[in-house]
């Protein structure tokens, strides 16, 4: 006979099914995913990064389409920014190498096992993925600027979006990049628990990046490149006024703030042997 305060095996199974993943389990899922990424061949990382740099341009294109064809109304801004989510949906659900995802995914294994070989591999991966993302961004931006791949009616909107994204100045661009880094890391952290609703997690939180007017290094690189290839943005302004400050802000938000906090909340729950590796 089951005591009134006890649960049957059937009830216990039901409770386990409805319980969410513990933080340590989410950490372990992302850590293992990060280890797999760190073990991938450099060539695979590079081409996956190129694909991500190309596909993230859908965020710029989506926003430009909405901006071009929506009526001039107060609510248009909020709807327009849904277009920003398109590139992230393709890249994240398509498992392409996006630099800002790696500010948490590949960092957690290094925090878990902080040895020189892991740190060295992390730096190599970051350099490869970031370079590939930027190459992809420049490739698609050149196509937008000089090809006939998109309707000419969209060019004014892409130009406006690009000038706005790169026009904050170094200090403001850096500060606006911090929330973007946190939000992308939060997406990575929430996906294991999304239970089939990953599409909506990505949609909502990348929409928030755009609606909050935060800066993202890879999507922003498409806009930066669009202006640079047309001679509308000098190299020094692009590098020191946009690229490096936004890169630093995204890393600060994704790694120094979110990843460290995520690790801090679970490190005492990890097996003792694992922490001492």
For the chain, which domains are there? Answer: 21-266 (1.20.1080.10)
Rounded to an integer, what distance in angstroms lies between the CA atom of residue 220 and that of residue 35? 28
The pLDDT value recorded for residue 233 is 97
Instruction: Give the phi and the psi of residue 32 in degrees, each rounded to 5.
Output: -65, -40
Tokens representing 15 are 């409770």
User: Tens digits of per-residue pLDDT, 191-243?
Assistant: 998 888 999 999 999 999 999 999 999 999 999 999 999 999 999 999 999 99
Contact 26, 192 (CB under 8 A): yes
Total Cβ atoms within 10 A of residue 78: 11
Q: Say yes or no to pLDDT of 14 above 60.
A: no
Tokens representing 30 are 């992302």
User: Tens digits of per-residue pLDDT, 27-73?
Assistant: 889 999 999 999 999 999 999 999 999 999 999 999 999 999 999 99
Rounded to an integer, what distance in angstroms lies between the CA atom of residue 184 and that of residue 202? 9
Q: What is the pTM of this model?
A: 0.88
Q: Say yes or no to pLDDT of 76 above 90.
A: yes
């Amino acid at each position: 006979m089951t005591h009134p305060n006890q649960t049957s095996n059937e009830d216990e199974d039901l409770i386990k099914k409805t319980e969410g993943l513990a933080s340590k389990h989410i950490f372990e899922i992302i850590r293992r995913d990060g280890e797999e990424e760190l073990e991938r061949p450099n060539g695979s990382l590079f081409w996956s990064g190129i694909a991500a740099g190309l596909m993230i341009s859908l965020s710029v294109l989506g926003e430009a389409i909405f901006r071009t064809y929506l009526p001039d109304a107060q609510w248009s801004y909020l709807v327009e920014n849904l277009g920003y989510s398109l590139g992230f949906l393709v890249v994240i659900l398509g498992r392409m190498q996006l630099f800002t995802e790696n500010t948490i995914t590949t960092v957690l294994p290094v925090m878990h096992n902080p040895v020189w070989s892991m740190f060295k591999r992390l730096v190599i991966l970051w350099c490869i993925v970031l370079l590939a993302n930027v190459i992809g961004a420049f490739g698609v931006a050149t196509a937008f600027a000089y090809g006939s791949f998109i309707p000419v009616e969209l060019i004014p909107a892409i130009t406006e979006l690009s000038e706005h994204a790169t026009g904050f100045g170094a200090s403001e661009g850096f500060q606006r990049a911090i929330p973007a880094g946190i939000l992308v890391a939060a997406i990575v952290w929430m996906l294991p628990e999304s239970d089939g609703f990953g599409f909506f997690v990505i949609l909502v939180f990348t929409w928030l990046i755009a609606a909050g007017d935060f800066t993202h290094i890879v999507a922003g690189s498409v806009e930066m490149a669009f202006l640079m290839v047309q001679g509308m943005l000098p190299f020094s302004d692009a590098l020191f006024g946009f690229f490096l400050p936004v890169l630093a802000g995204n890393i600060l938000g994704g790694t120094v703030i979110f990843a460290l906090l995520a690790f801090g909340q679970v490190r005492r729950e990890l097996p003792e042997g694992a922490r001492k590796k």
